[in-house]
């Protein structure tokens, strides 16, 4: 992949889900909502967010094993059981 191809692919906004778009400016990963709110994530923040996400999913799985979630906790159950990982995301983009 050439530098121009890289820029063309990653500098263009890509729809993620739930009204959120993302793009890469060469340093930050930017997130933008349909309402126009923007967040610039630096590399360290992105790394820490991944750690946060994995820790949350592990704790959700622990609670699920104890059977201590209710029907109102469906989102957490879905999140813990999600098969989405970096390989899946890489295959999509």
**Domain map (residue ranges) of the chain:** 1-41, 43-93
Each residue's pLDDT tens digit, 18-27 = 999 999 999 9
Q: Give the DSSP letter of residue 28.
A: P
C-alpha closest to that of 79 among 60, 52, 51: 60
Each residue's pLDDT tens digit, 34-72 = 999 999 999 999 999 999 988 988 887 787 777 766 545
């Amino acid at each position: 992949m050439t530098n121009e191809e890289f820029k063309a692919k990653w500098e263009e906004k890509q729809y993620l889900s739930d009204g959120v778009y993302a793009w890469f400016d060469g340093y930050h990963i930017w997130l933008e909502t349909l309402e126009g709110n923007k967040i610039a994530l630096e590399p360290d923040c992105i790394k820490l967010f991944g750690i946060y996400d994995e820790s949350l999913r592990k704790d959700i799985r622990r609670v699920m094993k104890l059977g201590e979630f209710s029907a109102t906790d469906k989102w957490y159950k879905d999140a813990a059981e999600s098969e989405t990982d970096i390989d899946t995301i890489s295959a999509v983009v």
